[in-house]
Amino acid sequence: MKKMLRTLLLSACLAFSLPAAHAAGGGMTPLPDPAQLQLASVHALVAPLNPGTPIYTKFADRPVPIASVTKVMTAMVVLDSGLPLDEWLPIVEREDDPPKNAFSRIRLGSEARRGDLLRITLMSSENLAAYVLARHHPGGRDAFVAAMNEKARELGMEQTRFVDPSGLWPENHASATDLLKMVRAAYGYPEIREMSTGSNQRVHFRNPRYSLDFGNTNALVHSSRWNVGLSKTGYLTESGRCLVMIAEVGGEPMVMVLLDSFGTRTPLGDAGRIRRWLETGSSGAVAGAALDYERSRTAALAGVGAVGQP
Protein backbone atom coordinates (compact mmCIF):
# COMPACT_ATOMS: atom_id res chain seq x y z
CA MET A 1 0.00 0.00 0.00
CA LYS A 2 2.79 2.45 0.88
CA LYS A 3 4.57 1.71 -2.39
CA MET A 4 1.30 2.31 -4.28
CA LEU A 5 0.75 5.64 -2.51
CA ARG A 6 4.30 6.76 -3.32
CA THR A 7 3.83 5.77 -6.96
CA LEU A 8 0.65 7.83 -7.13
CA LEU A 9 2.40 10.75 -5.44
CA LEU A 10 5.28 10.58 -7.90
CA SER A 11 2.83 10.51 -10.82
CA ALA A 12 1.06 13.56 -9.42
CA CYS A 13 4.33 15.45 -8.99
CA LEU A 14 5.43 14.64 -12.52
CA ALA A 15 2.10 15.50 -14.06
CA PHE A 16 2.67 19.16 -13.20
CA SER A 17 6.22 19.22 -14.58
CA LEU A 18 6.64 20.22 -18.24
CA PRO A 19 9.74 19.49 -20.27
CA ALA A 20 12.15 22.41 -20.60
CA ALA A 21 11.49 22.43 -24.35
CA HIS A 22 7.81 23.32 -23.86
CA ALA A 23 6.78 26.94 -23.59
CA ALA A 24 3.58 28.28 -22.08
CA GLY A 25 0.54 27.63 -24.22
CA GLY A 26 1.85 24.31 -25.54
CA GLY A 27 4.31 25.76 -28.07
CA MET A 28 7.86 24.55 -28.51
CA THR A 29 11.03 26.51 -27.89
CA PRO A 30 14.36 25.25 -29.22
CA LEU A 31 16.57 23.40 -26.77
CA PRO A 32 20.01 24.92 -26.21
CA ASP A 33 22.86 23.53 -28.29
CA PRO A 34 24.64 20.70 -26.37
CA ALA A 35 27.91 21.85 -27.93
CA GLN A 36 27.61 25.06 -25.89
CA LEU A 37 27.60 23.22 -22.55
CA GLN A 38 31.08 22.66 -21.16
CA LEU A 39 31.29 20.62 -17.95
CA ALA A 40 34.09 19.53 -15.65
CA SER A 41 32.29 16.26 -14.82
CA VAL A 42 33.37 13.26 -16.86
CA HIS A 43 29.90 11.67 -16.85
CA ALA A 44 26.81 13.87 -16.93
CA LEU A 45 23.13 13.95 -17.74
CA VAL A 46 20.51 16.70 -17.75
CA ALA A 47 16.80 15.92 -18.05
CA PRO A 48 13.41 17.36 -17.12
CA LEU A 49 11.94 15.79 -14.00
CA ASN A 50 9.02 14.31 -15.90
CA PRO A 51 9.72 11.15 -17.90
CA GLY A 52 11.26 11.81 -21.27
CA THR A 53 14.50 11.99 -23.19
CA PRO A 54 17.48 13.69 -21.52
CA ILE A 55 18.43 16.95 -23.17
CA TYR A 56 22.15 16.44 -22.55
CA THR A 57 24.29 13.37 -21.97
CA LYS A 58 28.01 12.81 -21.62
CA PHE A 59 29.28 9.24 -21.26
CA ALA A 60 25.94 8.63 -19.52
CA ASP A 61 25.65 4.89 -20.18
CA ARG A 62 28.96 3.84 -18.64
CA PRO A 63 28.67 2.32 -15.10
CA VAL A 64 31.14 3.98 -12.72
CA PRO A 65 31.65 4.25 -8.93
CA ILE A 66 29.02 6.54 -7.40
CA ALA A 67 30.26 6.88 -3.78
CA SER A 68 27.66 8.37 -1.41
CA VAL A 69 25.11 8.94 -4.14
CA THR A 70 24.37 5.36 -3.06
CA LYS A 71 22.57 6.77 -0.03
CA VAL A 72 19.57 7.85 -2.11
CA MET A 73 18.82 4.18 -2.70
CA THR A 74 19.51 3.49 0.98
CA ALA A 75 16.84 6.02 1.91
CA MET A 76 14.26 4.49 -0.42
CA VAL A 77 14.83 1.02 1.03
CA VAL A 78 14.49 2.34 4.60
CA LEU A 79 11.22 4.09 3.76
CA ASP A 80 9.87 1.14 1.77
CA SER A 81 10.37 -1.07 4.85
CA GLY A 82 7.68 0.85 6.70
CA LEU A 83 9.64 0.69 9.95
CA PRO A 84 8.80 3.54 12.34
CA LEU A 85 10.98 6.61 11.92
CA ASP A 86 10.59 7.51 15.61
CA GLU A 87 12.05 4.18 16.82
CA TRP A 88 15.27 4.49 18.83
CA LEU A 89 18.09 2.41 17.36
CA PRO A 90 21.35 1.42 19.11
CA ILE A 91 24.49 2.71 17.38
CA VAL A 92 26.29 -0.56 16.76
CA GLU A 93 29.92 -1.08 15.83
CA ARG A 94 30.62 -1.93 12.21
CA GLU A 95 31.11 -5.63 11.49
CA ASP A 96 32.38 -4.97 7.98
CA ASP A 97 35.78 -3.55 7.12
CA PRO A 98 35.29 -0.56 4.83
CA PRO A 99 38.16 0.16 2.44
CA LYS A 100 37.81 3.91 3.08
CA ASN A 101 37.89 6.12 6.15
CA ALA A 102 34.61 5.63 7.99
CA PHE A 103 35.18 8.13 10.81
CA SER A 104 32.05 9.25 12.64
CA ARG A 105 31.35 11.59 15.54
CA ILE A 106 28.47 9.40 16.70
CA ARG A 107 29.25 7.46 19.88
CA LEU A 108 29.03 3.69 19.73
CA GLY A 109 26.47 2.29 22.13
CA SER A 110 24.30 5.40 22.18
CA GLU A 111 20.87 5.55 20.54
CA ALA A 112 19.21 7.73 17.91
CA ARG A 113 15.86 7.76 16.17
CA ARG A 114 15.67 6.05 12.79
CA GLY A 115 14.34 9.24 11.21
CA ASP A 116 17.27 11.30 12.50
CA LEU A 117 19.74 8.72 11.22
CA LEU A 118 18.04 8.81 7.84
CA ARG A 119 18.18 12.61 7.77
CA ILE A 120 21.91 12.82 8.43
CA THR A 121 22.54 9.96 6.00
CA LEU A 122 21.01 12.08 3.23
CA MET A 123 21.89 15.60 4.34
CA SER A 124 25.39 15.08 5.78
CA SER A 125 26.36 11.76 4.16
CA GLU A 126 26.93 10.20 7.60
CA ASN A 127 28.38 6.75 6.88
CA LEU A 128 27.85 5.14 10.29
CA ALA A 129 24.23 6.30 10.26
CA ALA A 130 23.70 4.53 6.91
CA TYR A 131 25.33 1.38 8.27
CA VAL A 132 23.16 1.39 11.43
CA LEU A 133 20.00 1.78 9.33
CA ALA A 134 21.00 -1.28 7.32
CA ARG A 135 21.93 -3.34 10.39
CA HIS A 136 18.49 -2.74 11.92
CA HIS A 137 16.67 -3.77 8.73
CA PRO A 138 14.81 -7.11 8.91
CA GLY A 139 17.46 -9.71 8.06
CA GLY A 140 20.32 -7.30 8.73
CA ARG A 141 22.82 -5.64 6.43
CA ASP A 142 22.96 -8.41 3.82
CA ALA A 143 19.18 -8.39 3.42
CA PHE A 144 19.28 -4.60 3.17
CA VAL A 145 21.84 -4.65 0.34
CA ALA A 146 19.79 -7.32 -1.43
CA ALA A 147 16.76 -5.03 -1.15
CA MET A 148 18.79 -2.17 -2.66
CA ASN A 149 19.63 -4.28 -5.69
CA GLU A 150 16.07 -5.54 -5.98
CA LYS A 151 14.81 -1.95 -5.93
CA ALA A 152 17.29 -1.06 -8.66
CA ARG A 153 15.95 -3.90 -10.81
CA GLU A 154 12.38 -2.71 -10.22
CA LEU A 155 13.36 0.74 -11.45
CA GLY A 156 15.03 -0.65 -14.57
CA MET A 157 18.54 0.27 -13.43
CA GLU A 158 20.30 -2.33 -15.56
CA GLN A 159 23.85 -0.96 -15.10
CA THR A 160 23.72 -0.71 -11.31
CA ARG A 161 25.20 -2.80 -8.51
CA PHE A 162 25.23 -2.11 -4.79
CA VAL A 163 27.49 -3.86 -2.27
CA ASP A 164 27.01 -1.57 0.76
CA PRO A 165 24.52 1.06 1.96
CA SER A 166 26.96 3.93 2.54
CA GLY A 167 28.93 4.14 -0.71
CA LEU A 168 32.32 3.54 0.95
CA TRP A 169 32.96 0.63 -1.41
CA PRO A 170 33.98 1.67 -4.95
CA GLU A 171 32.22 -1.46 -6.21
CA ASN A 172 28.93 0.43 -5.91
CA HIS A 173 28.43 1.20 -9.60
CA ALA A 174 25.77 2.91 -11.71
CA SER A 175 25.53 4.85 -14.94
CA ALA A 176 24.22 8.41 -15.13
CA THR A 177 21.26 7.05 -17.11
CA ASP A 178 20.42 4.68 -14.26
CA LEU A 179 20.81 7.44 -11.68
CA LEU A 180 18.22 9.50 -13.55
CA LYS A 181 15.75 6.66 -12.93
CA MET A 182 16.74 6.51 -9.26
CA VAL A 183 16.44 10.26 -8.70
CA ARG A 184 13.07 10.46 -10.43
CA ALA A 185 11.79 7.64 -8.21
CA ALA A 186 13.27 9.21 -5.06
CA TYR A 187 11.43 12.45 -5.79
CA GLY A 188 8.22 10.55 -5.07
CA TYR A 189 9.24 10.27 -1.39
CA PRO A 190 8.41 13.51 0.48
CA GLU A 191 10.81 12.49 3.26
CA ILE A 192 13.75 12.27 0.84
CA ARG A 193 12.95 15.63 -0.72
CA GLU A 194 12.74 17.32 2.67
CA MET A 195 15.63 15.57 4.41
CA SER A 196 18.12 15.83 1.55
CA THR A 197 17.62 19.58 1.12
CA GLY A 198 17.71 20.73 4.76
CA SER A 199 20.47 23.17 5.65
CA ASN A 200 21.32 22.17 9.22
CA GLN A 201 20.03 19.80 11.87
CA ARG A 202 20.78 19.19 15.54
CA VAL A 203 20.34 15.52 16.38
CA HIS A 204 19.73 14.37 19.95
CA PHE A 205 21.11 11.04 21.15
CA ARG A 206 20.53 9.13 24.38
CA ASN A 207 22.36 6.57 26.56
CA PRO A 208 24.39 8.74 27.00
CA ARG A 209 22.50 11.94 26.30
CA TYR A 210 24.28 14.31 23.90
CA SER A 211 23.61 16.35 20.75
CA LEU A 212 25.49 16.88 17.49
CA ASP A 213 25.02 19.47 14.76
CA PHE A 214 25.05 18.41 11.11
CA GLY A 215 25.09 20.44 7.90
CA ASN A 216 24.28 19.75 4.27
CA THR A 217 27.18 18.67 2.04
CA ASN A 218 25.65 20.58 -0.90
CA ALA A 219 26.31 24.30 -0.46
CA LEU A 220 23.64 25.16 -3.04
CA VAL A 221 20.82 24.34 -0.59
CA HIS A 222 21.96 27.34 1.46
CA SER A 223 21.74 29.74 -1.48
CA SER A 224 18.69 31.92 -2.10
CA ARG A 225 19.55 31.75 -5.81
CA TRP A 226 18.72 28.04 -5.95
CA ASN A 227 15.48 26.14 -5.39
CA VAL A 228 16.74 22.61 -4.76
CA GLY A 229 14.15 19.85 -4.59
CA LEU A 230 16.44 16.86 -3.96
CA SER A 231 20.19 16.56 -3.42
CA LYS A 232 22.99 14.09 -2.76
CA THR A 233 26.74 14.49 -3.03
CA GLY A 234 29.43 11.83 -3.10
CA TYR A 235 33.17 11.38 -3.14
CA LEU A 236 35.75 8.61 -3.33
CA THR A 237 39.14 8.67 -4.99
CA GLU A 238 37.75 6.18 -7.51
CA SER A 239 34.55 8.15 -8.17
CA GLY A 240 35.77 11.73 -8.10
CA ARG A 241 33.29 14.37 -6.91
CA CYS A 242 29.66 13.49 -7.62
CA LEU A 243 26.32 15.26 -7.36
CA VAL A 244 22.75 14.31 -8.18
CA MET A 245 20.23 17.09 -7.81
CA ILE A 246 16.79 18.31 -8.81
CA ALA A 247 16.59 22.09 -9.06
CA GLU A 248 14.24 24.59 -10.66
CA VAL A 249 15.53 26.33 -13.77
CA GLY A 250 13.19 28.81 -15.41
CA GLY A 251 10.39 27.56 -13.22
CA GLU A 252 10.82 23.93 -14.31
CA PRO A 253 12.38 21.15 -12.17
CA MET A 254 15.45 19.69 -13.87
CA VAL A 255 17.46 16.59 -12.95
CA MET A 256 21.23 16.99 -12.98
CA VAL A 257 23.53 13.97 -12.68
CA LEU A 258 27.22 14.87 -12.39
CA LEU A 259 29.83 12.16 -11.83
CA ASP A 260 33.61 12.21 -11.50
CA SER A 261 34.85 15.78 -11.29
CA PHE A 262 37.77 17.52 -9.64
CA GLY A 263 37.56 19.49 -6.38
CA THR A 264 34.87 19.90 -3.75
CA ARG A 265 33.07 22.75 -5.52
CA THR A 266 33.47 21.52 -9.10
CA PRO A 267 30.06 19.75 -9.31
CA LEU A 268 28.46 22.91 -7.93
CA GLY A 269 30.16 24.89 -10.67
CA ASP A 270 28.83 22.41 -13.22
CA ALA A 271 25.30 22.86 -11.83
CA GLY A 272 25.71 26.60 -12.34
CA ARG A 273 26.97 26.06 -15.87
CA ILE A 274 23.95 23.86 -16.65
CA ARG A 275 21.56 26.50 -15.38
CA ARG A 276 23.34 29.23 -17.37
CA TRP A 277 23.23 27.04 -20.48
CA LEU A 278 19.50 26.41 -20.08
CA GLU A 279 18.78 30.08 -19.48
CA THR A 280 21.14 31.69 -22.01
CA GLY A 281 22.31 28.96 -24.38
CA SER A 282 25.94 29.16 -23.23
CA SER A 283 27.50 27.69 -20.11
CA GLY A 284 30.76 29.59 -19.86
CA ALA A 285 34.18 28.04 -19.34
CA VAL A 286 35.56 25.53 -16.85
CA ALA A 287 38.46 26.49 -14.57
CA GLY A 288 41.90 25.27 -15.62
CA ALA A 289 42.61 22.58 -12.99
CA ALA A 290 39.12 21.10 -13.28
CA LEU A 291 39.34 21.13 -17.07
CA ASP A 292 42.73 19.38 -16.99
CA TYR A 293 41.25 16.68 -14.76
CA GLU A 294 38.25 16.22 -17.06
CA ARG A 295 40.42 15.98 -20.15
CA SER A 296 42.74 13.41 -18.59
CA ARG A 297 39.81 11.25 -17.47
CA THR A 298 37.87 11.49 -20.73
CA ALA A 299 40.94 10.72 -22.84
CA ALA A 300 40.62 7.07 -21.82
CA LEU A 301 36.95 7.12 -22.85
CA ALA A 302 37.55 8.47 -26.34
CA GLY A 303 35.26 6.81 -28.84
CA VAL A 304 32.86 5.45 -26.19
CA GLY A 305 29.55 7.02 -27.23
CA ALA A 306 28.79 10.55 -28.31
CA VAL A 307 29.41 13.44 -25.97
CA GLY A 308 26.72 16.04 -25.41
CA GLN A 309 24.03 14.30 -27.44
CA PRO A 310 20.48 13.95 -26.17
List the catalytic residues. 68, 71, 125
Residue 161 vs residues 11, 68, 167: alpha-carbon distances, Å: 26, 13, 11
| 212 Rama class: left (phi>0) / alpha (psi -120 to 50) / beta | beta
CA–CA separation, 86 and 182 (whole Å): 26
Helix 2-15 to helix 176-186 angle (10° resolution) is: 100
CA–CA separation, 114 and 258 (whole Å): 29
CB 74 within 8 A of CB 133: yes
Helix (H) or strand (E) holding 263: none
Tally the C-alpha atoms within 13 A of residue 8's C-alpha that lie toward its C-beta. 5
